[in-house]
Amino acid sequence: MGDVQVLDFKSMPKIELHAHLSGSISRQCLHEIWIEKKAANKTDLEDPLIVMPLGKHDYDLETFFPLFSSYIYRLVDDADSLHYSTISVIEDFAKDGVVYLELRTTPRALGSMDKIAYVNHVLTAIDVAQQKFESIQVRLILSIADRRNTLVEANEVVALALRFRDSGVVGLDLCGDPTKGDVSLFTPAFEAAREAGIKITVHFAEAECSASEAELETIMDWMPDRLGHVIHVPESVKKQITAHSGIGLELCLSCNVQAKMIVGSFDAHHFGDWWHVDGPVVVPCTDDVGVFGSPVSNEWALIQEHFHLGRNDILGLARKGIDVIFGGEEQKARLREIMW
Ligand SMILES: CNc1ncnc2c1ncn2[C@@H]1O[C@H](COP(=O)(O)O)[C@@H](O)[C@H]1O
Please work out whether the CB of residue 92 comes within 6 Å of at least one atom of ligand 1: no
CA of 337 to the centre of ligand 1 (A): 32
Question: CA triplet 100, 121, 226: central angle to 5 degrees?
Answer: 40
- Determine if ligand 1 sits within 6 Å of the CB of residue 145: yes
Mutate which of 25, 57, 61, 68 for ligand 1? The one with the most ligand atoms within 8 Å of its CB, which is 68
- CA nearest neighbour of 100 among 145, 71, 134, 72: 134
Ligand 1 atom closest to Cα of residue 291: 9
Total domains, the chain: 1
22 lines ligand 1 (CB under 6 A): yes
Q: What is the CATH number of the domain that holds 188?
A: 3.20.20.140
Q: Which of 272, 257, 258 shows the shortest CA–CA distance to 309? A: 272
Q: How far is CA 190 from CA 143, 144, 149, 247, in A?
A: 12, 10, 14, 17
105, 22 Cβ separation under 8 angstroms: yes
User: In a 3-state reduction of DSSP, which class is residue 279?
Assistant: coil
Collapsing DSSP to helix, strand or coil, 200 comes out as strand
Inside any domain, residue 338: no
Which tens digits make up the pLDDT trace of 83-97?
999 999 999 999 999
SS3 letters across 296-339: HHHHHHHHHHHHCCCHHHHHHHHHHHHHHCCCCHHHHHHHHHHC
CA–CA dist 105, 144 (Å, integer): 9
Task: Say what the pLDDT of residue 6 is.
Answer: 86
Q: Helices 27-39 and 79-95: crossing angle, nearest 10°?
A: 150
* Residues taking part in catalysis: 206
Q: Which of 41, 18, 35, 21 lies closest to 87, judged by CA? A: 21
Comparing CA positions, the residue from 178, 160, 156, 177 lying closest to residue 168 is 160
d(CA 208, CA 305): 28
Pairing, β 98-105 against β 14-20: parallel
Rounded to the nearest angstrom, the distance between the alpha carbon of 286 and the centre of ligand 1 is 12
- Ligand 1 touching residue 141 (CB < 6 A): no
Instruction: Tell me, yes or no, whether 189 lies in a domain.
Output: yes
Closest CA to ligand 1's atom 13: 20
Query: From CA 187, how far away is CA 313, in angstroms rounded?
Result: 37
Q: What integer pLDDT is reported at residue 168 of this predicted model?
A: 98
Distances from the Cα of 330 to the Cαs of 71, 88, 133, 334, 335, in angstroms?
Answer: 39, 26, 19, 6, 9
Distance 146 CA to ligand 1 centre (A): 9
What stretch of H or E contains 11?
none
Q: Is residue 178, in this structure, part of any structural domain at all?
A: yes
Do the interacting molecules here have an ipTM over 0.95?
Answer: yes
Confirm whether 46 is domain-assigned. Answer: yes
For residue 82, the SS3 value is helix
Q: CA 286, CA 299: separation in Å to the nearest integer?
A: 7
**Half-sphere exposure of residue 117, counting CA atoms within 13 Å on the CB side?**
11
Q: Residue 90 belongs to what domain range? A: 14-327
Low-confidence stretches of the chain (pLDDT beneath 50): 1-2
Taking the CA of residue 178 as reference, the ligand 1 atom at the shortest distance is 5
CA of 178 to the centre of ligand 1 (A): 10
Cβ 255 under 6 angstroms from ligand 1: yes
Span 135-168, pLDDT tens digits: 999 999 999 998 999 999 999 999 999 999 999 9
The full length of the chain comes to 340
Share of the chain above pLDDT 90, in %: 97
**CA torsion angle 10 11 14 19 (round to 10):** 30
280: amino acid identity, one letter: P
Q: What are phi and psi of 101, to 5 degrees?
A: -130, 130
**For residue 74, how far is the Cα from the chain centroid?**
21
